[in-house]
Amino acid sequence: MNYAWFIPVAVCISFFLTAALRKYAISRRLMDVPNARSSHVVATPRGGGVAIVVAFIVSLMFLYAAGLITPSAFFASAGAGLSIALIGFMDDHGHIAARWRLLGHFAAAVWLLGWMGGLPPIALFGVYVDMGWAGHVLAAFYLVWLLNLYNFMDGIDGIASVEAMCACLGACLLYWLAGLDSLIWGPLLLAASVAGFLYWNFPPAKIFMGDAGSGFLGMVLGGLSLQAAWVSAPMLWAWLILLGVFIVDATFTLFRRLFRGEKVYEAHRSHAYQFASRRFGKHLPVTIAVGMINLFWLLPIAVCVTRFGLDGALGVILAYVPLIVLAIKFRAGNQEDSAV
């Protein structure tokens, strides 16, 4: 049976729910007001990422009912994703202390890993390495870092949505080329769920994603990468390559701020993409550039890893080196008032 009809359904759920959330946010004055740490200049409604959460959870329920995903994949993604979305929603509407947010993040990561079986053996330079419990701990930190960096990188119009769609559709292509058709539905419907929201979030944004949406995306994308790795070890490396723009910018910025002794949990505008948006005077060129990097640089390398025998670790190095150069060029992690 052909289930492709549900793709536009997911898009429509996200599209119309985002419109409703925008009206709700405006009526309740749930606005992101620009301040010294903001990358926008106009007060904008926030919390639209809830539409992505709802659309994808409904999609997961459809996939589960149709027998297109396993119970473990359903409960892993739905349980962890909803937990992260709830934490983010509460933080969007008030404030949760950083330590309690972090505790909730790790609890969600443990839930997801419990259902998925933890970290699978990793293919490293032709050798499969089973890290045991150390690998499961590493996987938990990986998931927590991915959801937080996704939150950090959701700072200009459309960038988080474009990154998610590029990564998901790129993964669908890799699965199709590898004959892993059973894995395609998850990232495909996540991309569809983001697409409906992107209409409202594309520069200039009419509504922002908020922590509920960005954290949810980070956790679910991490879960999809581990799910694929259990089926084909090179796919984990491929996902790390596809998410390279966000991983490199956020990680490079974090370490530079750590070395400078700054409080890394405080809001800032020192990511490379934020410096770039100020240099160009608008968000659109940076958001489009992220899409182009994904399409013309990262995706071909991921294809080489999964189809043409390029070692995954070498593929990550090849993919990340130019991204690190760009991070340095655009002053990632520098103090905002430091010299260019």
Mark the binding-site residues, compressed into ranges: 151, 211
Quickly tell me which residue has 């694929």 as its tokens.
228
Q: Please tell me the distance from the alpha carbon of residue 71 to that of residue 74, in angstroms, as a whole number.
A: 5
In the annotated binding site for Mg(2+), the residues are 151, 211
Using CA atoms, how far apart are residues 66 and 253, in angstroms rounded to an integer?
A: 43
Q: Report whether 53 contacts 212 (CB < 8 A).
A: yes
DSSP 255-319: HHHHHTT--TTS----SHHHHHHHHHTSSHHHHHHHHHHIIIIIHHHHHHHHHS---HHHHHHHH
What is the phi/psi pair of residue 312, to 5°? -60, -45
d(Cα 67, Cα 17) in Å, to the nearest integer?
26
Q: How many Cβ atoms from other residues are within 10 Å of residue 155's Cβ?
A: 22
